[in-house]
A and B are shown apart, each in its own frame.
Chain A
Amino acid sequence: DGGITQSPKYLFRKEGQNVTLSCEQNLNHDAMYWYRQDPGQGLRLIYYSQIVNDFQKGDIAEGYSVSREKKESFPLTVTSAQKNPTAFYLCASSINRDRGETQYFGPGTRLLVL
């Protein structure tokens, strides 16, 4: 079955530590996205990528970094510079970034700070 997988489901971060969230898709989609979800705030875009080896900052990129070395993979690193990382992180993909294209979401990773 085609879809998007995210791992781990839960992740714990210690102070000063960088952590990496995995996102893999087998839908052959060009575009991939990372969102942060906080209670009552909807989804906020962190980074997006339209093609391999290219990515752009979203609305809240500070304290995060990404890479897109393969079409299928778009990992997100939450760095120690992100002072309030506790949130639910969602990865998504779409065929491209054209208007009208549906985004397909993974099951999410919940990040908690110890």
Chain B
Amino acid sequence: GDSVTQMEGPVTLSEEAFLTINCTYTATGYPSLFWYVQYPGEGLQLLLKATKADDKGSNKGFEATYRKETTSFHLEKGSVQVSDSAVYFCALSDRDKIIFGKGTRLHILP
């Protein structure tokens, strides 16, 4: 069946460092791909999404490119801030189902 695998955390970086959180997927169809972010004690918010191969989603300095050849949707940011500390979830939606990864906790040190 369809699945999402993302790197285990926690990931700890210093402010202004470059961020990559890896996400790979398996799917039988042509899924849409998402990154959601969860701040402490809150629900999830959509960060960005891409609906077809080679699409790039971007928001708040984060970006991710839908790579069909490597079945990946890695999240990147050039310069992280303390306020980016949160849990990040990669997800795929295929047909009528959405599947979430287990989440990656990110800590940014000032």
A-to-B contact residues, CB < 8 Å: 4, 6, 40-43, 90, 92, 97-108
Contacts and interface: CB of A to CB of B under 8 A. Distances in A.
B44 A42 contact: no
28 contacts: A4-B43, A40-B102, A41-B102, A42-B89, A42-B100, A42-B101, A42-B102, A42-B103, A43-B44, A43-B89, A90-B44, A92-B43, A92-B44, A97-B96, A97-B97, A98-B96, A99-B32, A99-B51, A99-B93, A99-B95, A99-B96, A100-B32, A100-B49, A100-B93, A101-B93, A103-B46, A105-B45, A108-B43
Q: With a 10 A CB-CB cut-off, give which of B49, B89, B96 has the most chain A CB atoms.
A: B96
- Prevailing SS type, chain A contact patch: loop
A30 B38 CA distance: 24
Interface string B84-98: 000001000111111
Nearest to B30: A99
A43 B51 contact: no
A107 B42 contact: yes
B97 to A, nearest CB: 8
B25 interface: no
B94 to A, nearest CB: 6
Interface string B28-58: 0111101010000111111001010000000
Contacts of A99: 29-32, 51, 93-96
A87 B43 CA distance: 13
A47 to B, nearest CB: 14
A97 B30 CA distance: 15
Nearest to A31: B96
Contact of B43 (A42, A98, A107): A107
A75 B89 CA distance: 25
Given A42-B100, A99-B31, A102-B49, 11 more contacts: A6-B43, A41-B102, A90-B44, A92-B44, A99-B30, A99-B93, A100-B51, A100-B93, A103-B98, A105-B43, A108-B41
